[in-house]
Structure 1
Amino acid sequence: MSKMRIIIAGGGLAGMTLAHRLHRHGLDVAVYERDAGIAAREAGYRIHINSTGTSALHAALEPRLWKLFLATCGMPNDDMLLFDEHLDPRPSRDKSATEGIGVPDDIPEHLVVCRSTLRRILFLGLEPVVRFGARVTGYRSAPDGTVTVLLGNGETVEADVLIAADGINSAVRAQRLPQMTVADLGARSIAAKVPITNATRSRLPGQLFNTFSMAYDDDRTGLTLGPLERTDPGSPLVLEQDRAFQDEATKNYALSIFNSVASRMMPDAELCAATPERLKAYALERVASWHPALVETVRLWDTATVQPLTLRSCVPVTAWEPSNVTVMGDAVHAMSPALGIGANTALRDALVLGGELLAVARGDKALLDGIGAYEEAMRGYGYQALRASASVGEQVIGHLPLPE
């Protein structure tokens, strides 16, 4: 097996999934992650995993971890429902925008998972190759074809391949593709978790407990609820993990998001500086005249989980010449959350890029040919998903169009 040294900048879902696949096949891979540890921060909320994402995870994970993933998922059994602010039904969204980008219509392919739980699963077995507290700030390309990776603490490390999986603010992407811009979509959100217990269920109507519910008024101010109820929280695979994992992986909750266009939200400086208590109070003020069940949804927010979000998107650029520095996930195609396919598209990157790097390691392809094939494919499906998400987001969330 080739001794090709691969460094992944960023220990999010896509980077860690890729690391698992490469590590399982004996490649020399290391992950450099800016967080101080796996539990250093709230790593996100409930995310939708479709067949695109499950294909990538199945290819990457050893059987035991795959089963652990399934045990910690939820399996919704209804479609997304849309309401107005009075909880009267609105027409369902036009699904034609999702054709060809891996969004399934059949129930078995539709899973939901807690992002931080999945991140913990992806860390298992990779402890020796993940370095926490190591922010990648850039790189230098050497004449011999190697890359010197620059870390925030002044250290450097040598590699044959550098992969930017470090998110929308990627320092590597900024250097590798300076022509790419990130657009503010002009919408703001306040997100939180709602614990799902017998008590909370009794306070909300059953129609909100489907795959995903969104209520919005004529100004596109909206409130969502997306439950995550675990498939098998009593699985021995879950119970053999440490207490922190068990506590997180056995609790049911719903993701709830209050969203509005930026011009109708509190100013950005105030939004970013506000305490969780203030953000929750503000959301309650904004929905005070709505249906009582929607007001109650915000009252049930777990205040400790409340945080503001800014909707941004990468803007597609024309093809570039491949090199031994490449990009994946939100570093290259961060998108509107309107279709819930951003994580799946990033996981698809891990599947495609992983396959190309394994072909290079076997000697079936030259390195730049493999990376070039991945980048060409990624620009196709990634930009299609990005544009489709932006289009639906304009219609449903009311955010700005994607710049041309």
Structure 2
Amino acid sequence: MKVIVVGAGVGGLTLAQGLRREGIEVRVYERDGPQRRRQGVSLHLDDRGMTALSACLPPAHLKMAQAAMGRQRDRTQVLSEVAGELTVVRSEPLNGGAGGVRAGRQVDRPLLRAVLLHGLEDAVRFGAPFTRFETRANGTVRVYFGDGSVDTADALIGADGVGSAVRRQLLPQVRVIDTGKRMLMGAAPLATVADTVLLTRIGDNATSAQVRGRIVVLGVLRFTEPPVTARDRWLPDLHAAAVTGAEDYVMWAMPVTPDQLGSADSPHSVWHRARSLARGLPAPLLDVIDGAWPHATVALRIGMIPPTPAWPAGPVTVIGDAIHAAPGFGGNLAMRDAYRLRDALARTARGQEDLVAAIGAVEHDMRSDNHAVKPVSAAQHRSASHSRWHE
């Protein structure tokens, strides 16, 4: 059995690792180059994502992935100014109530992605944008890519995000809705706030500062173990800048309007726009944005996909942001989709279940998730994952 995965994000790579552990041939095609994915520096990993990683990754990879995470985050809180001081004015548990955010851990996205890519070097092809697929009479799928390559497999999985090119052909009736929301995101070295009251106020909580008419979402990532030390123990041949350059940091995000964002697009221009919009904020918040890494600053537009009616199952499907309306924790749903699909495809490879029936059952579960999702508010946290798409 052979599977083609389009998209080398956390969902696609979790699936690829899981399939390889099951002895299933897998090929991953990614539109961008190895270093060109701009999705923000961190995401919030809850029990769904952690369960998927535990099931799909080899033991050493899992240990290294855990080293990419910070401490447990059990609460969400709101800061405001009280008598001129940033003060916690509301605190609530992250219990996942009504489809909301669950407790979990902040994880460094570049480092997690480096771990997920490790061992798949021979299976991942970068700079190969998907263009179209054809289902063949014998049930296989022929897939065409923008670099001129063609490949054939038993199943094609679109893990290519909210702007999924696979979904556009498979489900042309599904359209992404632009919510009109934009998000500026970045990170600053933890030393930027080490001597301020802000670090004490944030702790390990998902925090939203609502002051002077603006919202700044904050999250501290203190690695549970130095990534280089963990690498030397678990994956000594993982040679990636995401490991050697890792340091503790504070993630920040600012919701803005399209007019406020303007034409800013490159990391440096987005960082300068964020600094401009932050003027007038209390000094500790301004210091975080002024001290941010310009290269890690991104502007994301938030897209939603309405719940999708059932469609006929086949050898082509989509997972993660390509089908879920889940700004705020889409990475966890993508990894859970990958885990479910890994199991379904493994049963098919063992002759225990028909391929189309297995994929159809996973799609049913994904649609059920889609109807149950509650959008995340800025007051909770947007340090999870966000949507950027190209139409």
Q: Given the two structures, how large is their TM-score scaled by the length of structure 1?
A: 0.85
Map 1:221-260 → 2, pairs under 5 A: 221-233=214-226, 234-235=229-230, 236-237=232-233, 240=236, 241-242=238-239, 244-248=241-245, 250-260=246-256
Q: Post-superposition shift, 1:217?
A: 4.7
Deviation readout 1:324-376 (Å, 9 max, x if unpaired): 10000111115322xxx211111110111111111111111111110010000
In 1, distance between residues paired with 2:187 and 2:234?
22
Map 1:3-402 → 2, pairs under 5 A: 4-37=1-34, 39-42=35-38, 44-76=40-72, 79-84=75-80, 87-92=86-91, 98-99=96-97, 101=99, 103-105=101-103, 110-197=104-191, 200-205=193-198, 206-217=200-211, 221-233=214-226, 234-235=229-230, 236-237=232-233, 240=236, 241-242=238-239, 244-248=241-245, 250-262=246-258, 265-267=260-262, 270-272=263-265, 276-337=267-328, 341-385=329-373, 388-389=374-375, 392=377
| Residues 78 and 101 (structure 1), Cα distance of their counterparts in 2 relative to 1, 3 Å cut | closer
CA contact (8 A) 1:203 1:296 kept: no
CA contact (8 A) 1:356 1:371 kept: yes
The structure richer in strand per residue is 2
| Residues 239 and 369 (structure 1), Cα distance of their counterparts in 2 relative to 1, 3 Å cut | closer
**Could you tell which deviates more after superposition, 235-244 or 141-150?**
235-244
Moved over 6 A (4+): 394-397
Q: Post-superposition shift, 1:78?
A: 5.2
Secondary structure of 1:16's counterpart equals helix
CA contact (8 A) 1:8 1:165 kept: yes
CA contact (8 A) 2:211 2:281 kept: no
CA contact (8 A) 1:42 1:116 kept: no
Q: Post-superposition shift, 1:394?
A: 9.5
Q: Post-superposition shift, 1:140?
A: 1.1
CA contact (8 A) 1:51 1:102 kept: no
What root-mean-square deviation, in Å, do the aligned CA atoms of Structure 1 and Structure 2 show?
Answer: 2.5
The structure richer in helix per residue is 1
Q: How many aligned positions are there? A: 374
Deviation readout 1:151-195 (Å, 9 max, x if unpaired): 012321111110000111111100001111101111112111111
Unaligned runs of 5+ in 1: 398-404
Secondary structure of 2:122's counterpart equals helix
In 2, distance between residues paired with 1:135 and 1:35?
7
In 2, distance between residues paired with 1:361 and 1:239?
29
Q: Given the two structures, how large is their TM-score scaled by the length of structure 2?
A: 0.87
Secondary structure of 1:389's counterpart equals coil
Unaligned runs of 5+ in 2: 383-391
| Residues 185 and 90 (structure 1), Cα distance of their counterparts in 2 relative to 1, 3 Å cut | farther
In 2, distance between residues paired with 1:7 and 1:239?
26
Q: Post-superposition shift, 1:43?
A: 5.2
Secondary structure of 2:88's counterpart equals coil
Q: Post-superposition shift, 1:239?
A: 7.8
Q: Post-superposition shift, 1:266?
A: 3.8
Percent identical among aligned pairs is 32
| Residues 166 and 358 (structure 1), Cα distance of their counterparts in 2 relative to 1, 3 Å cut | same
